[in-house]
Structure 1
Amino acid sequence: MVDIEERRPRSRATTFLLVIAATAFVVAAAFRLLGIDGTRHMVATTALVPYVTAAGVLLGAVALLLRRWLVGTVTLLIALVLVAAVAPRAFPDSRPVGVGQQVRVMAANLMLGRADAEAVVDAVRAHEVDVLAVQELTAAMIGEFDRAGLGEVLPYRVFLAAPGGAGSGIASRHPLTARDLAAPSTLRQAGALVDLPGEDVEIVSVHPLPPTSPDGPERWQRDMAGLPERDLNGPFRVLAGDFNATLDHVGLRRLLNQGYEDAADQVGAGLEPTWPAGGVWPPPVVIDHILVDNRCPVDTFQVIDLPGSDHRAIVTQFVVPTR
């Protein structure tokens, strides 16, 4: 009798802890499944959905092993729904046949102009980049790019330098024409038409305000809503940069529903984190993206280290088809 009475409190305590953990998991999962961005803390939680998913699978399995059938079943079922949303990012999609101009685009957040300019230029050369989209571009960084020889490989540019993290820019191997493609935003988001040998492409250097700002996520939501939709009657369009959003956030999923494809997701690299570079806290997440018109087949995607920046740079190659 003594042994049984001593085990009962521990059993109730285990059940209580499992219920608390399961409740926290269900709440976090609900933000994603119901499409709720909410407060800045809710937005931050949604960015962790791949981790939340893994935790839910583990928690559900443990609950079932401990014979907490209701807790385990509910948790595991919800976790499997999340798995269905997250797991495909790790596997390549079928590539449609595309004949046309191959284009390589690179996006890089320069961390307030502190990134190593020579490393950026070296990456441009090594990956034979055609178009470079940069965020957090400062006037001093432009000078460093000039000294590093960026103009030799990408002679055309639309640079909107600004202090701190507000600047952005586009540099290209092909002629550029500046265009206002994004709606007015908190941070500058350069836009341009790239005059390719075949079909032209419009590109935006994307950088909405981070949603974790103490002022709340409203300006981030507005900036995301101001990004241009795909235009079936105009040039092919590419959005490249630091979205401060993952594939689980409503604003980014809206763009995907409007005819864009995430290049990383297309080739099975959609779970490779881009920020913070080299860190373990906050947990690394995927907030840098290159979204391409879904009529443009994606060939490759890479995440590369960028010395001096808290972001990793991304490079993709896709085909701009002949219409």
Structure 2
Amino acid sequence: MSTQTLAGPRLARRRGPVLTLLCWLAVAPLALWAVVRLGGLERGPLVQLVAFTPYAAAASPLPLVLALALRRWGPAALATLAALALVGAVAPRAIADDGTVASGPELRVLTANVLGGAGDPAALVGLVRDARVDVLALQEFDPGTGAALDRLGLVTLLPYRQLNPVADASGSALYSRYPLTDGGVRRNAGGFTQAYGTLRVPGAPAVLVESVHPASPYSLAMLDDWRDDLRAEPPATPRGPLRILAGDFNATLDHAPLRDLLDTGYADAAATAGAGLAGTWGPYDGDPIPPVTIDHVLVDRRIGVRRVAVHPPAGSDHRPVLAELTLPAG
């Protein structure tokens, strides 16, 4: 028997453990990601990382293909579980749900972060006019933006308002086509403010509406404020008044605090309409960040969702989100 004949099996034996280790190393990060996501275990830097879970779900079949190709059945089994967990958590957002069928009047709600005055007021007013918006929720609302919006005709389109213009990007605003009563503004622990009011739409029960803006988890020092602000958002009241929360939540549906808020009785309008994977923040002001979905319209589950559209950014790093809803008859 020649030396060359023996070399093949020896080489294969030496490469076998290396290839097995390669498979485990490829599978392990996605498996850990699935555990963190499903367990709501995001802490520290993982809070930011979890926002990109849809990208991890899209990549999750790759380690499985590698393990199957190399016939590494242990890594293949773990890769299968991780892929099923991640895809199962993300995919429903792209599938329209019939949801609640309400028989009352339609309501169009638009939310936009105007980036402390960097947004384009003309584009925003044009969108309100063209889309026949009934309620406009703004975040990072400043005095200059408020004055420009009224000069451009928003005061005629949406005459009712609860405004808190602030020059340091902590401002908030609600504009409405319908009477807005019992209004006010509250300040979150993280510093941003939230305008709120009770919407009186003819033919429907009163609806409590709030322009939402919890703290951003942009640094480790802000994580406590981020969690506290999300926990302080008004819970749904399934046996009480209707509620709508619209704004820049600084959280995706993969963050446990936002899912906890949904569990009180809200539905995410975009996910209900099958548009829950449309990115709303990321590269729109030039930052090399993949888009993530942190702007939401949350609605009481008694409210129907007809359609959700994410519009091009108008000078901001956020894309406006328009939700077409149907209120219960009242």
**Are residue 164 (structure 1) and residue 168 (structure 2) matched?**
yes
Q: Which residue of 2 aligns with 1:289?
A: 296
Secondary structure of the equivalent of 1:295? Answer: coil
| RMSD over aligned Cα atoms | 1.9
User: For residue 42 of structure 1, what is the aligned residue in structure 2?
Assistant: 46
In 1: Cα distance, 2:287 partner to 2:170 partner: 26
Indicate yes or no: 2:57 matched with 1:53: yes
CA offsets per residue over residues 111-157 of structure 1, 9 Å max, x none? 12201000000000111000000001111111221222211211111
- Give the distance between the partners of 1:280 and 1:140, measured in 2 at CA: 25
- Asked whether 1:298 is paired with 2:305, we answer yes
Shift of 1:164: 2.9
Contact 1:61–1:76 (Cα < 8 Å) also in 2: no
Question: How much has 1:174 moved relative to structure 2?
Answer: 1.1
- SS across alignment from 2:274: coil
Q: Give the greater-gyration-radius structure (CA).
A: 2
Q: Compute the displacement of 1:99 (Å).
A: 0.8
Query: CA separation of 1:15/1:182 partners in 2, compared to 1, >3 Å: closer, same or farther?
Result: farther
Count residues with an aligned counterpart: 322
Shift in Å, 1:55: 1.8
CA gap 1:233/1:76 in 2 versus in 1, 3 angstroms = closer
**Alignment partner, residue 102 of structure 2:** 98
1:62 Cα deviation from its structure 2 partner? 1.8
Q: Are residues 1:123 and 2:127 paired? A: yes
Deviation at 1:61, TM superposition (A): 2.0
Cα deviation for residue 3 of structure 1 reads 4.5
| Percent identity over paired residues | 40
- For residues 308 and 183 of structure 1, the distance between their equivalents in structure 2, rounded to whole angstroms, comes to 26
- Seen in structure 2, the aligned counterparts of structure 1 residues 4 and 181 have a Cα distance that, compared at 3 Å, is farther
Corresponding position: 1:238 with 2:244 = yes
What is the rounded CA distance, in whole Å, between the counterparts of 2:185 and 2:166 in structure 1? 19
Q: Could you list the per-position Cα deviations for residues 199-230 of structure 1 after superposition, in whole angstroms to 9, with x for gaps in the alignment?
A: 22111111111112241411000000000011
Please state if 1:155 is matched with 2:162: no
Change (3 A) 1:165 1:5: farther
Paired residue secondary structure (2:218): coil
Aligned to 2:67: 63
| 2:21 counterpart residue number | 16
Secondary structure at 2:118 match in 1: coil
Contact 1:236 1:320 in 2 (8 A): no
Answer yes or no: is 1:31 the counterpart of 2:25.
Answer: no
Range moving further from structure 2, 128-137 or 211-220: 211-220
User: Are 1:275 and 2:281 matched, yes or no?
Assistant: yes
Unaligned 5+ runs, structure 2: 1-5
1:260–1:293 contact (8 Å) kept in structure 2: yes
**1:106 is paired with a residue of what secondary structure?**
strand
Structure 1: gaps spanning 5 or more residues: none
Q: Could you list the per-position Cα deviations for residues 218-273 of structure 1 after superposition, in whole angstroms to 9, with x for gaps in the alignment? A: 10000000000112454310000110111111111112111100001111111111
In the superposition, the TM-score normalised over structure 2's length comes to 0.92
TM-score (norm 1): 0.93
User: For residue 3 of structure 2, what is the aligned residue in structure 1?
Assistant: none
**Match of residue 320 from structure 2:** 313
Contact 2:162/2:184, CA 8 A, preserved across alignment: no
Structure-2 change in CA distance of 1:151 and 1:181 (3 Å): closer
- Cα distance in 2, alignment partners of residues 235 and 21 from structure 1: 49
2:185, 2:193 within 8 Å by CA — same for their partners in 1?
no
Of the structure 1 ranges 168-177 and 56-65, higher mean CA displacement relative to structure 2 is found in 56-65
Q: 1:165 to 1:68 in 2, by over 3 A?
A: farther
